[in-house]
Amino acid sequence: MRFTRAAAAVLIPVLLLVGVASAQQTEQPAVVFAYACSFERSENQAVARVALQSETGRPMAQDVTLLQVQQRGQTAPLSRDDVIVEPQAERPPLRLVIVLDITDTVPLVELTAVLSESLLAELLPEDEVALITFGDTVAPVTPFTANKQQFADDYLTGLRVTPGDNRLYDAIAAALDSFPFAPETRRAVLVITDSGRRVLEQTPSAAIIAQARQDKTQIYNIAFVSRDQPDIEELTTISTEAGGYTWYYGEANNTRASIALAVQGYIGQFVRVLDSEVIVRVSALNLIPDSASRATLEISALRDDASPVSDQVACPIEVLQHEIAFITDPGGAPVTGRIDIGVNARSDLGRDRTRIVFRVNDEVVQTSNASVYTFDATQLQPGFYTIEAELWDNANNTLARTPSALRLYVQQPLQFTVDTDMQVTQGGLEGQVSGPTTLIVSGSAGIVLPDVEFRAAPVGEPDRSQILGTAPFVDGKASLQIADLAAELRRLFPEAANGGSYELSARVPSPSAGSPALAGSNPLPLELEPAVIPTPTPARVVPRPPNWRVTLGVPLIVLLVALLLNLLLLRAIRRRRIQRVILYPDTIDLGPQLMTLTVLRDGVRQAHPLTKKTVTIGRGSSNDINISDDANVSRQHGAILWRKGEWWYSNRKSNALTRIDGKARRGFYLHRLDGVTEFQIGDVVMIFHSSAQQDIADFIKTDL
């Protein structure tokens, strides 16, 4: 317990007596005493220890007190969100020097008993105390000790009074000089006296105040009237300027016992004032350190019924580093499905004290430790979207944000099908194209879209696309009936009379000129047969008799020609099939492992995460990866494909040449990609690898 039985036995008379004494005192200024400040790196906070004291020498009521913090040199206080005040159930240990008057007018026996029972017993076990006594000389200060019982036995027991003058102010100055260097430890001096300045020349009050303020040492005085009279105004000035308080028992008709009881009551208030500490935590995000990496904070107590009081404390500040940047570049192609947006984040606070926040159009959509956000375009209205990422601490302070935002265009995917006698396969439409046909598209039911355009174009010639017709969306679906699809294609494309490869598609154009379509479908290919032209009945032919002079070499030439034609036909079929594989992705989603194509060009590496099922490579800005202006690189050179649950590579031109792991591959050739694969197109080297593999230097085979 913090109260001894002896103190409790005299509690009521002390309260009555102190009530009389308090009536003789004037109020002194309230005190905000900030004595230490440190920096907590794990929280990125300056932590100040502050004692709060009211005008009556009691703890300041925290429920009616607002603490405001402002950095010196700044024009405005810090936001309340940047300041946290934490009451302390138990303050940190302190060092206390007791300055005890032992002149012959002091009831010394009674006072030493009060010190033992009401002060030493109430201090924390870790508090250290020392003693200076004075009469006409100043005794040396005793060593600081936390053993209160030993202190009382060694230094308070057997003290004797001394006649003559006093050296009160020299003793206070000696007490200030006695503290060891420990800037984080609170220091206080408690003076108990009835003396004033007499004949002896002593340390001026100004020097005492200057040293106390420089060393951040509080001075508390307990003065009383006996046969001597203290300099109450001078003592009050010293304690006020030094962040302390002066209690004065000025009852003229006093006794040794009444003086001891009054001192005992004041010591109780002194102990409670010592315990009135709070911790003030200040976020370092908005603090500006000086050249010595410190920030001086002015901490003020604002109360409705009193003038504000403040104190300043210098706090060490460490400027922590925080970074966040996007590692995903989706390019300029419209987004029609899900895409993973990844970031690299680093903070001196550590991963467990930070969070990554993703914003879409300035609205927070994800707050977690995850460095990847999945952007789902299928659930969004078409249009442009801005994605940003921020790094927050656990107090929701923004530590860093991406240098630039990602700007994506959402395009709603449309599912294209037909209602006809033709069969819809993975390769396109098969069967008779002529006759009535209904074109049907469907989108997300919750997305509102304007009229859809149904279009047709020769395969590989999207610039020649023509509108077949338009139709409105009803409950997420739109349809267009065509009386004869083959006839309509021949009307739009005169060369279609000779047959050919065409593709059907659907799109919802943007109302803004130059903007991508609001929605679109994958093209649906079809083969159009040549138009049937009636031929006249051939004339009857009279057989010729056989020519027995035909040489035996004629049949062999015919066989060789037929074989060559078959080979050319097989090659054309293979070429057409690979073209279809390139143009028309299947329905299998991308695998869970993110892959990357790293391009090595002129000593510079550029990573391209593979977030699409078809990634085109070639010379020109129309490609997903524009690799070079080298004449050996075609404008439509190659493509990396996600088909049948695996990654593949193929050239897109019959004369395109690509070296894969050192082997030359020319023309249309599907090569399955396993693990790490090296490509060389012209003078450009590319490495296909997992995104988890950051350093690819060991995988490069080509001597660059």
Q: Which residues pair with 103 in a beta bridge?
A: 162
Task: With beta carbons less than 8 A apart as the criterion, state whether 660 and 649 touch.
Answer: yes
Cα atoms found within 13 Å of the Cα of residue 26, Cβ hemisphere only = 7
Alpha helices in 130-231 (DSSP H): 148-151, 168-177, 205-215
List pLDDT tens digits, range 119-155: 999 999 999 999 999 999 999 999 999 999 999 999 9
| Architecture of the domain delimited by 412-528 | Sandwich (2.60)
Q: Which residues pair with 606 in a beta bridge?
A: 599
Q: Say which CATH class 595-699 falls into.
A: mainly beta
Q: Which residues pair with 72 in a beta bridge?
A: none
Give the pLDDT of residue 682: 86
Q: Rounded mean pLDDT of the chain?
A: 86
Q: Which residues pair with 608 in a beta bridge?
A: 597
List pLDDT tens digits, range 354-396: 999 999 999 999 999 999 999 998 889 999 999 999 999 888 8
Closest residue by Cα to residue 405 from 355, 340, 359, 372: 359
Specify the DSSP class assigned to residue 118.
Answer: I
Task: With beta carbons less than 8 A apart as the criterion, state whether 147 and 120 touch.
Answer: no
Residue 546, C-beta contacts closer than 8 angstroms, at least 6 positions apart: none
Give the pLDDT of residue 691: 83
List pLDDT tens digits, range 160-186: 999 989 999 999 999 999 999 888 899
List pLDDT tens digits, range 258-286: 999 999 999 999 999 999 899 999 999 88
pLDDT confidence bin for 343, thresholds 50/70/90: very high
Distance set, CA 392 to CA 286, 322, 373 (Å): 14, 10, 16
- Tell me how far apart the alpha carbons of residues 419 and 440 are, in angstroms, rounded to a whole number: 7
Strand, coil or helix: what is 58?
coil
For the chain, report the end-to-end CA distance as a whole number of angstroms: 80
Residue 552, C-beta contacts closer than 8 angstroms, at least 6 positions apart: none
List pLDDT tens digits, range 59-115: 988 776 789 999 999 999 999 989 999 988 889 999 999 999 999 999 999 999 999
**Number of Cβ atoms within 10 Å of the Cβ of 325:** 14
Residue 150 identity (one-letter amino acid): Q
Question: What is the DSSP code string of 607-628?
Answer: EEE--SSEEEEESSTTSSEE--
| Architecture of the domain delimited by 322-410 | Sandwich (2.60)
Kindly state the tokens that stand for 112.
Answer: 């030493």
Task: With beta carbons less than 8 A apart as the criterion, state whether 626 and 620 touch.
Answer: yes
Helices 232-241, 205-215: crossing angle, 10 deg rounding: 20
pTM comes to 0.56
- Tell me how far apart the alpha carbons of residues 627 and 368 are, in angstroms, rounded to a whole number: 37
- Domain map of the chain by residue range? 322-410, 412-528, 595-699
- Tell me how far apart the alpha carbons of residues 342 and 338 are, in angstroms, rounded to a whole number: 13
Cα atoms found within 13 Å of the Cα of residue 27, Cβ hemisphere only = 9
Closest residue by Cα to residue 600 from 682, 533, 520: 682
Question: SS3 for 350-401, per residue?
Answer: CHHHEEEEEEECCEEEEEECCCEEEEEHHHCCCEEEEEEEEEEECCCCEEEE
Token pair 């004494």 is found at 21
> In the predicted model, what is the mean pLDDT of residues 582-587?
80
- For residue 289, count CB atoms less than 10 angstroms from its CB and return exposed for 0-12, middle for 13-18, buried for 19 or more: middle
- Tell me how far apart the alpha carbons of residues 503 and 357 are, in angstroms, rounded to a whole number: 43
Task: With beta carbons less than 8 A apart as the criterion, state whether 506 and 454 touch.
Answer: yes
Most confident by average pLDDT, 53-57, 245-249, 251-255: 245-249
Same fold: 322-410 with 412-528: yes
Give the pLDDT of residue 704: 44
List pLDDT tens digits, range 481-517: 998 888 889 899 988 888 889 999 999 998 888 788 8
Region of 116 please: left (phi>0), alpha (psi -120 to 50) or beta.
Answer: alpha
Token pair 């690819």 is found at 696
Give the pLDDT of residue 533: 65
Closest residue by Cα to residue 371 from 347, 400, 334, 341: 341
Task: With beta carbons less than 8 A apart as the criterion, state whether 590 and 338 touch.
Answer: no
Token pair 């935002």 is found at 405
**pLDDT more than 70, % of the chain:** 90
Give the pLDDT of residue 6: 40
What beta strand segments (E) does 275-305 contain? 277-283, 294-303
- Name the maximum alpha-carbon separation found in the chain: 165
Give the pLDDT of residue 306: 73
> In the predicted model, what is the mean pLDDT of residues 418-430?
58
Distance set, CA 95 to CA 3, 89, 142, 178, 266 (Å): 20, 19, 13, 10, 19
Instruction: Flag whether pLDDT at 547 surpasses 60.
Output: no
Alpha helices in 36-87 (DSSP H): none
Kindly state the tokens that stand for 497.
Answer: 């009379």
